[in-house]
Amino acid sequence: MNDEIKSTAPAISDFDEIVSYVKNDKSDVEGNIYIGSKFLIVCGCNPFFKPIIEERGPVRISVVRVVIVKSGWCEPVIGFRKYRCGPGDMLFLNWGVTISSDTFGVDTTFEGIALTEEYMKTIFGGRLPELFVSPGQCFVLHLSAEEQEVWRQYTHALFNLVHLPSVEEEVAGSLFVSSLNYVASLHSAKLMTKRGSWSRNKQTVERFVRLVNDYAKTEHEIDFYASQLFMTAHYLGMVVKKETGITAKEWIDKTLAILIQLELRYTNKSLKMIANEFNFVSLSSLCKFFKRRTGITATEYRMMPEDTSHNSAGAPPRRYNPLKTNLLFGRWGHSALAFQDVG
């Protein structure tokens, strides 16, 4: 059984690293791209993230990505399987997907979105649709011209929306939710996932993640989830770490922190009431946990404006070749950049 969980751990690249590649002249950005502190939107953009894969592959880029190939082609290798994607193909990669390598055709461009795991869970109120629960989920769908046009309208509406000074952040969140529900609808109509062909470890991780989504509010320890899966906590921890790159306890704590943030942001419950509902032994335990996870106190978080991000990248923007891009600044407290093709 131990042989089954031996593997070479992939490199892990997070959202901030993607932003740093754009800001520090490590990638040649062409097309329209908006980068906020929790998401990015690309419209007719080249594969600017290519250096991350070339330099660090195999790599797990821990963001959710949904793109349509607008022109050219790409050929990512995921789990020893090569996915060939051409014009009109939609590629979905969840935050737990490891890419061994990727090849791109000349003049390849994409339209799509990428979100951090935390932001995606937040906009869905802490409960993801079934399709997006498994961190290793990936698939390719070929879209009709009409379906491609709907996706184009989603991405362009999002790109334009985030620049409007009169629009609240929740509006963009709602549109992200709608666009992802559209992806789920397309998947349901075109491709049903064959879970029976998944490895035992992958099935275990999916069941674990589902349990965390259902019980993290009151069950904070790995022993509970191991008992539900009829295995030892030690073995469950090794499987989750091997398949996702993070520990089972981190999965639980991350989900728990997001649920607490939602309570603080959208209810008037006292901290003591939240501590009781979330099964903390004391108010002090809740406060210590939240401060450790977020870097700020629960009271400070509750008092923050809704459009404030306390974990923005904060690095200064790079200057771009004016023949290729025009630098715009984002809003909503994001350390945000928008690069637009100016011909």
Residue 336 is predicted with a pLDDT of: 42
Residues of the chain with pLDDT under 70: 1-9, 25-27, 57, 192-198, 306-343
Residue 205 is predicted with a pLDDT of: 86
Residue 167 is predicted with a pLDDT of: 79
Q: Which CATH number fits domain 198-303: 1.10.1040.10, 3.40.50.2300, 1.10.10.60, 1.20.1300.10?
A: 1.10.10.60
Residue 329 is predicted with a pLDDT of: 35
Query: H/E element holding 139?
Result: strand 138-142
Residue 276 is predicted with a pLDDT of: 94
Between the two ends of the chain, the Cα-to-Cα distance in Å is 57
Q: In the Cβ-directed half-sphere of 32, how many Cα atoms lie within 13 Å?
A: 17
Q: How many CB atoms lie within 10 A of CB 134?
A: 24
**Could you tell me which residues are beta bridge partners of residue 340?**
326
Residue 324 is predicted with a pLDDT of: 33
Query: H/E element holding 325?
Result: strand 325-329
Residue 317 is predicted with a pLDDT of: 32
Residue 272 is predicted with a pLDDT of: 94
Residue 190 is predicted with a pLDDT of: 83
Residue 277 is predicted with a pLDDT of: 94
Residue 201 is predicted with a pLDDT of: 83
Residue 197 is predicted with a pLDDT of: 54
Residue 291 is predicted with a pLDDT of: 93
Residue 198 is predicted with a pLDDT of: 62
Residue ranges of the domains in the chain?
A: 11-193+312-341, 198-303
In residues, how long is the chain? 343
Residue 325 is predicted with a pLDDT of: 35
**Could you tell me which residues are beta bridge partners of residue 71?**
109
CA distance 196 to 73: 30
